[in-house]
Amino acid sequence: MNAKYINPFTDFGFKKIFGEEASKLLLIDFLNALLPQTNKIVDLTFKNTEHLGQTEIDRKAVYDIFCENETGEKFIVELQKAKQNYFKERTIYYSTFPIREQAEKGEWNYNLKMVYCIGILDFTFDDYKDEPEKNEVVHTIKLKNQNGKTFYDKLTYIYIEMPNFKQSEANLKTRLDKWLYFIKHLEDFQTIPTIFKDEVFTIAFEKAEISKFGQAELKSYEMNLKMYRDYKNTVDTAFDEGKLEGKSEGIIEGKIQTAKQLKKLGIEISIIEKSTGLTNEIIEKL
């Protein structure tokens, strides 16, 4: 049976639902469901990601969505399709971009606006496999001191491990539950479940319906979907083989094989760098 709705884990699908000006209402609703009730967003302004970072490589490798609310708080949202080395480090590195851009010319008192970095992950962290956190869906991280007290409350990292979200339609309780169920199962729906009969989700399903795409959009989505499936299968396989071997040389070889496959698919070098941790020079020689 052909899918009626797009796969939101593709770059095309994710940006179609959350990253367009016409999707602003959807992104606001999703973020309000995710963030504390005291931080309700009224409006958002999408910002050009090319203004982030100081180098050309930085500007090519920023997050999927960068926006700002009506009070100047910054939101970086990324869809991460597969595991990659140093993912957390990369998240922290890019969180410095919206911090640095707040610097004012001349005299400035260093008062900063809130920055939220949100990652929707189509995989789980290996860190928590033997800990209580292993089954948690949402991980919220702030800077804290040795006593567990928040040292700085204007920088928040939120990671959503989608494979850990296993609730059925009958057990959805919160607005966030509905959004995660929507994201995880959208491609499988043939009709709109009754739980999604409000205005926001009606718009979301309309934007996600493949039959409403023009030829150019349809071609772009189909190409993007193929790249997503090939990319995720290749990267997941490489990581699984690396874990089984348990040796650094096995992991490195996995990276190299991943890079080769991604080059064959025509993936940009900058994206391959992010996905494998290999340098541009090594990738160019493959």
Distances (CA, A) of 136 to 79, 83, 166, 241: 18, 17, 10, 25
Taking only the tens place, the pLDDT of each residue in 101-154 is 898 888 889 999 999 999 999 988 876 666 667 789 999 999 999 999 999 999
pLDDT of residue 245: 46
- Residue 252's pLDDT band (cuts 50, 70, 90): low
Structure tokens at 72: 């100047």
Q: For residue range 207-235, list pLDDT tens digits in order.
A: 999 999 999 999 999 988 988 887 777 66
User: Residue 214 phi/psi, 5° resolution?
Assistant: -75, 175
CA angle 249, 253, 257 (to 5 degrees): 175
Q: What is the pLDDT of residues 12-34, one digit of tens each?
A: 999 999 999 999 999 999 999 99
Q: What is the mean pLDDT of the chain?
A: 84
Distances (CA, A) of 171 to 49, 166, 178, 181, 252: 38, 10, 10, 10, 43
- pLDDT-derived band at 241, boundaries 50, 70, 90: low
> 10 Å Cβ neighbour count for 104?
9
68 vs 49: CA distance, rounded Å = 12
Torsion from C-alpha of 39, 40, 44, 49, nearest 10 degrees: 30
Half-sphere exposure of 200 (CA within 13 A, CB side): 16
Asked if residue 204 has pLDDT above 80, the reply is yes
Q: pLDDT tens digit string along 71-105? A: 999 999 999 887 777 788 888 988 998 998 898 88
The rounded percent of the chain whose pLDDT value lies above 90 is: 53
